[in-house]
Each structure stands twice: as C-alpha cells, then as structure tokens.
Amino acid sequence: MQSTAYPLSIQPLLFTSEDLSPCFFFRPTDDELCFMEVWENRVSVMPASVRCDEGRSRTGRPGHTLLSVLAVHAVKLYFQEKTMTAARDRLLSSSNLRTITGMAVFYQEKIPKLS
C-alpha cells in the first residue's frame, strides 16, 4: 500500500486563520459581552412558556415570538437607542447581537416593527 505525504507547508499558502475568522469565530466587543451577560441572566429566569414560544398566531401563520420582541426591547434599553426601530436596526446589523440573543437566522420582515 502506498500513501502520499502531504507537506504541512502548503496550508499557509491556501489561507490563514485570519482569513476565515470573521466567518466562523464569534468576537463580540466589550459592550456586547456585557450585554450577553445581562441577556443570559434575564433569559435564564424567564418561564419556559416565554423561551419556547413559537410565535404562532390564531391564523396559524408564523408570527413574532415574545422572545424576539423582548430582545429588541433589551437592545433598546441597554444600548440607549431612542426608538424601537433604531434598536431593531442595530440588532439586524450586528451578527454578534443576533447570535447573543439567539436570533442568528431570521430576516428583516420577521422582526417586529415597533415604534
């Protein structure tokens, strides 16, 4: 049986860890780290009915979960945004905040538009 030895020196020619770090690694700012601690403390004391709410309306269409509304409100209070729309836009624009609040996979139309 023959095997091929791959030199370890080829890997740095393909990419470095810095090239992929924005894609795979979570690097929040100091403010975001503090918000993460506050958010996790608040979520841990919420009843399961709030955390597991699927956001279904009476018509059966997907709605907004109570947790997503609370996340926008928490961002508004913590980062002292003037309006809920500004808080929602901040949440949408920051992948770190979406990851912290557990809403990493949603679109703009799924976030409640509150003013």
For 63-108, the pLDDT digits (tens) are 667 888 889 999 999 999 999 989 989 998 888 898 888 876 554 4
pLDDT for res 79: 95
Given a cut of 50, whether residue 10 has pLDDT beyond it is: yes
Least confident window among 15-19, 20-24, 42-46, 50-54 = 20-24
Given a cut of 80, whether residue 1 has pLDDT beyond it is: no
Least confident window among 4-8, 27-31, 66-70 = 4-8
DSSP secondary structure letters along the chain: ----PPPTTSHHHH--HHHHHHHH-----HHHHHHHHHHHHHHHTS-HHHHT---B-TTSSB---HHHHHHHHHHHHHTT-SSHHHHHHHHHH-HHHHHHTT--S--GGGS----
Instruction: Please state the pTM of the whole predicted model.
Output: 0.65
Average pLDDT, the chain: 75
